[in-house]
Chain A
Amino acid sequence: MSNFSTGENESVRVFNEKEARRIAAEIASYMRPERSLYIMVSSWWGAGQRWARNRASLTSDQREISIIVGRGRAGRVERGRFYLNATTNQLDSVSLKGIAQHIELYAKRSDNKMPPDMIVDVPRSDVKGANVWSDETFNRSVVENATAVEELTRLSENDQLMSSGYLETTGSGSLEYIRDNWGRVESQWGLVTQAVCSATVRHPKGTASGWAGKTSFDMNRVDVSEVAKIAFEKCKKSLDPVRIEPGRYQVILEPQATAGLIDVLISGLARRIPEEMGRGAMFLGIDNAIRRFRTKLGLKIVDERISVFHDPADPIVGSHFAPLHGRRDFIKNGVLTGLFNDYQHNLNEISEGLPLYRSSSYTLNGGNTTFSDMISSTKRGLIVSRFTQIQVIDPDSVLSGGLTRDGLWLVENGAITKAVRNFRWTESPLFALNNVEQIGIEEQVFDPVSSRNPFANDSFALSLNNVVVPPLKINDFSFTSTIDAI
C-alpha cells in the first residue's frame, strides 16, 4: 500500500499502525496514569468525483486527521461519541498536550460525580472481524474515475438527459485505545476502504428523474456504468408522471426503499429507552410483579419470514474493528431476540460479560421471489425506487412520514403501466413488516457514510452503514398526499 509513510511537512493519506500507536502513547503520557482514558486516532483520505449537467463539476482529494481524547462515564455511551472530550487534527506536541490537559482539567472536576466505570471489555480473541480493506479502492486513480464519469455523462448527453452524481473512494485507519480505572489497556487498529457511487439522471425540463446508487468497501463491486445505466433507464421510464389518488396501495419496495423505511426501526432496537423510560416501539408495558418496564424481547413483532441480524465477520457487512462479539440476531423469524445494549444503562450486564453492541450495519434476510415475479403477480400496486426525508412522527409506534423520490410506477395486471407523481406517505415500518406479501432476493444497498465533517461527527472513520436488504411487496401502504417535486 502506497503512501503510508509519514512526512515531516506533507500530509499522508492514511497513518500506519505504528504511527497511530506512537500518537496515542504520546497523549497517554501527558495524562495521569491512574485514570481511565479513551483515545481515538484516525486518519482518512477521500477522492471525490462529482458531476452535474453531463460534465465533471469537481474532482477532489481530501485528507483528514482526527484525534479524540475522552474520559469518564459518558466516554463509551456510543463509540467515539461522548460528552467530555477534546479533539484536534494536529499532530505536534503542543496540540496533543493541549487536548490531554483539557481532559485532565475537567475530568478532575467531575471525578466526584462520575463513578469509576470505564471498563475494558471482556476478552474476545475468538471473534473475528472482516477484511473490509481493498487495495483496488485505495489505489483507484483519479484518471479511472474521470474516465468512468466521462463515459456515462456522454451517454446521457447523447440522449439529451442531464446526469449528475458522485463517485467517491475513501480509505481510513483508526486506532482505538482504552485504559480503564484499573490500568488495563485495550487497543485495536482497523483499516477500512469504501467506494460509493450514486447518480441522478433528469430530463432537462425537470419532468423525469431517476436515481441509482451502490456502496461497497471494494471498488470492484461498484460498477459505475451499471449505476449510471439504472439511473438513466429509470429517468426514461419516469417521463411525464401522472397524478393518481393518494390512498392505500400494495407496494413493491426496491431494496433501497426497504432500507429507508426500516432504518428508523433498526436504529430504535435499543434497550435503554424501553427499560429506563418506558417508551418507544420496543416497550411492552410495566411488569407489576418485579416493578420494572418490560421490553418486547421474546415476542413476535413482525412477519415470521423476517429476520434481522449482523455478522461482523461477513465479508460484505462486516466491521473493520475487531467486533465485540460474533453474529447477533435482533429479529429471528419475526421474534424480537436482541436489543442493543447501551454502555451507560446496561453497565452491570456489560461488566458481567454481556456484550455492548452497536452497529448501524445489518442484514435483513431475503426470500426467493424475483423482482419480475413480484411485478407479474401484482394486480394493482406501486413500485417504489426509494424514500427520502423520512422522519419519525410517533416514536411509540415508529409511525413515520416521508416522500417517494426518483421513480414511482403504477403496476396494473402484472405490468408497469405508467409513471406516477411522487407521494407523501405516513406509515409505520412495524405495520409494513406485518403486512409482507412477498420477499425478494437481498442485496447491498447504497448507504454512504453520512458526514465527514469532524465537527459534525467525531467518529467519521467508523461510521460504516453496510446494509443488505431484499425488495419487499407490502400490502396497504399508506400514501397521504401527492407532492409536486420530481
Chain B
Amino acid sequence: MEQEKETRLKKLAKDVRIDILRICEKTNTGHVGSAFSVVEILLVLYSEIVKGRYPDHDRDRVILSKGHACSALYATLTRFGIMDESIFMKFASNGFRLGHHPHYEPSIGLEANTGSLGHGLSIGTGLAYAANKQNSPARTVVILSDGDTNEGSTWEAAAFAAHHRLANLCMVLDANKMQALGFTRDIIWPGEYMDRWKSFGWDVIAVDGHDVNQLTEAFSNIGVRDKPLAIIADTIKGKGVSFMENSLLWHYRPPKGEEYIKALEELSI
C-alpha cells in the first residue's frame, strides 16, 4: 500500500476511535473495547475492499456478527458517507432506531440483524450461496468475535460454506482473545484457530488485525482460491487506549469523567 494511503488510514483509525469514544460517553454505552479491536478491519474493508453501494443488488456486503461492537460499524459507515452523520449522532437515543446492536437497514449499511452471537456466518453464507446462484459478483464478509466461535451454529455455517466452496465468502475473526467473562482460552479453549478453520476446508490467512497493509493484502485473497477465506486477525481488545487494552472491564464499561478525558488525550496524540 502506498505510504500516503497507509498514513491516511492510520489517521482515520484514530478518528474513528475518537468517534466511538465520544458517542459512547454521550450515550453511556459500553463495549468500547470490542469496538476498538475491530476498527482497522472495518476501515480496510470500506476503504479498500467493498465494492458497490445500496441499492446495487450486486454490492459487497459486510455483516458484523459481533453486533455488540456496532459503534465501530456506525462510526465507520458515517466516515464513508454510507450512514448520514445525523443518524449516527442519534445513536442510542429515545425513540430512535439505532441501538446497541444493529437492526437490518441496508440503506444505511446495516446488512443484517446481529447481536445474538452465532448468527452472522449463517446469514453471510446464505448471501454468498444466493449470489452464486444468481451469478452475482457480490462478495460477503462476515466479522466474527471469539465468542462467536463458541456457538455451534458458526461451525454449521463453516461446514456448509466449505462444502459448497463459497469462494465469494470471507470470514474475518477479530481475535482479541477475550469474551464476556474473561479470556477465551480460560473459558472454552478454542484450539488453534488456523488449524480449526483449515480443517473445515477454508483457505486461512493470519494477520495482525491492526496492520492495515496486512489486512488489505489478506482481503485481496477473497475469491482467489476455490474455497471460502478465513482471516484470523490477531487484535487487542481496547486497542489504542493504554488502560483499556486487554481489559475485561472495558467489555462493559461506558467511558466517563476522567477516564474519558484520558482516553481522548491518548487517542488524540
Asked if A and B are interacting partners, one says no
Residues of B within 8 A of A (CB): none
Residues of A within 8 A of B (CB): none
